[in-house]
Amino acid sequence: MMKTILIVTSSHDRFEGPDPRPTGVWLEEFAVPYMEMLARKIGITVASPRGGAMPVDPRSNPTPEQQQQWQAAIEASRATLPLAGMASADFDAIFLPGGHGPMFDLPDNPDLARLLTEFYQAGKIIAAICHGPAGWVGARRPDGTPLVAGVALTSYTASEEVAAELDKQVPFILEDRLRALGAHFIARENKADHIERDGQFITGQNPNSSTSIARAIVAALDKALQPAFAAVPRQRAAAQEIATFPVPTFLENIAIGEGGDLFVTSYDDGRLFRVSPQGGIAQLARLDGNAAGIGFAADGSLLVAGSAGKTQMLYRVGLDGTVECWIEMQEAVFLNGLTHLVGERYLIADSYKSAIWEVDLAARTAALWLSHERLAHAKDPFHPVPMFPGANGLKIHDDTLYVSSTQQQMLLRVPLGVDYSPGELEVFMTNLNLDDFAFDIEGNIFGTTHIYSSVVRISPDRRVSVVAEAEQGLTGSTAVAFGRTAADHRSLYVTTNGGVSFLSADAVQPGRIVRLDVGIAGYRRP
């Protein structure tokens, strides 16, 4: 069945006040998405408060080449339908292009507010670019809270408004209003090609984001992968395959001992492998259940988060292969990544409980350390793999816990109190499908992207680059850890599952351990 989208534009053609210069819709923000959706055979309806011809900001008038490229969109803009006649049940998505016109006639439009509430309640895609989110500020959820409350989004920023010398001409600064309504506003540098996706909401920052938001909307409608890393720089590291495992082997996590050996969990069959840096493979142990996160206790034994039958369990595994069920966690749902907190205390992510547990090895107890909606996993109807983990990888750097929330494509951080209690959780990065990750000595983060089959590098100022991809053996990249010896401390070891979690059975590749020479040493907590 053909997918359908409602594009809602402004009918307002002038600024108000002492300088009533002409404005309207920024044509690129309407035309580029329109043409992309038309090419993808998505049914398009264009509506506006008054219907009729869409006013175009003259500053965005097309070049002769654009006039030809955008001909179908320009024709559609000349005959918009009245917004009052639109029914949300007829569409799969709604999209609001920007320009300054929407700042005047969309915030308080009752027909638009009604439609947005209905789209929200139905779980349908709600998208906007630049000043388009001005149409969201008057909308409410069925419970009366602002539509944008708690949503990670972007729009034309306050800085961009000042740079355009229009901050005194608009009725309000859109970034400020969205923040005041409780949105988690994310701004990039002026004119950045920047989009945000948070569940059913998709936003773009400015006209330069027109192509990106169009592709993101189409991907969501097609339940395809979002083009998360398509535009980021490539800085490929040299790669060497260290070890290969039979198809299908879901290598899940990795820890590296002081002597240089790699300890790897195989999730589905609960096996633990010991792998030498030269690639020698030996099975160390087998658990009575799944095996996920792995780390070291103070005595050198291994800690493995997994299951024993239907019960979640923290195992303790000796380097001689002896296995002990150390802490039974009846209230946990899906234990995943783990990290050392302090002393005998460790943290374990619970990917299906929106939570992080604290365990005490000496007392053999477990208690809920943090629960938060940003740690949650939920079925995503716009994702090709709809049931992905919530809280996943955990690492501590400079007295702050970092958490990959995979389903929500966020990297979160939680400051640690003097007693190692959690401070207020905050969103550090968005649009990141991170599984596991590791810090280097300069504070850069290297993370696996799982279904994107790559390793990315995130600088302290949040710039992303790709350092390795599927062509280097990273199909289904799951976990990373830095080497610990003089020979490999500037190398990163990566585990993969060969795509078993997202590829068809005939396309799955072997599980692998790949060494990347990244040229910098890993961070070690003091």
Report CA torsion sign: 468, 473, 478, 484. negative
Q: What is the mean pLDDT of residues 217-221?
A: 94
- In 206-290, the DSSP E strands lie at 238-245, 251-256, 262-266, 271-275, 281-286
With a cut of 60, say whether residue 130 has pLDDT above it. Answer: yes
Strand partners for 82? 48
**82 prior amide bond cis, ω within 30:** no
For the CA atoms of 43, 198, 10, 47, what is the dihedral angle to 10 degrees? 20
Strand partners for 120? none
Q: What is the mean pLDDT of residues 266-272?
A: 97
Residue 29: closest CA among 275, 206, 256, 216: 206
Report CA torsion sign: 283, 284, 290, 293. negative
Going by their DSSP bridges, the two strands 93-96 and 81-82 should be labelled as: unpaired
Position 383 scores a pLDDT of: 67
Position 231 scores a pLDDT of: 77
Using alpha carbons only, give the angle 434, 438, 439 rounded to the nearest 5 degrees.
Answer: 120
Position 127 scores a pLDDT of: 98
Report pLDDT digits (tens) over 341-396: 999 999 999 999 999 999 999 999 999 999 999 999 876 677 666 568 999 999 99
Q: What is the helix (H) or strand (E) element at residue 28, kind and residue range? A: helix 27-39
Half-sphere exposure of residue 195: CA atoms within 13 angstroms, side-chain side: 27
- In 205-333, the DSSP E strands lie at 238-245, 251-256, 262-266, 271-275, 281-286, 291-296, 302-308, 311-317, 323-329
Position 227 scores a pLDDT of: 78
Strand partners for 346? 340, 359
Q: What is the mean pLDDT of residues 12-38?
A: 95
Position 377 scores a pLDDT of: 86
With a cut of 90, say whether residue 224 has pLDDT above it. Answer: no
Cα separation, 114 vs 92, whole angstroms? 16
3-state secondary structure 124-140: CEEEEECCHHHHHCCCE
Q: What percent of the chain has pLDDT over 90?
A: 93
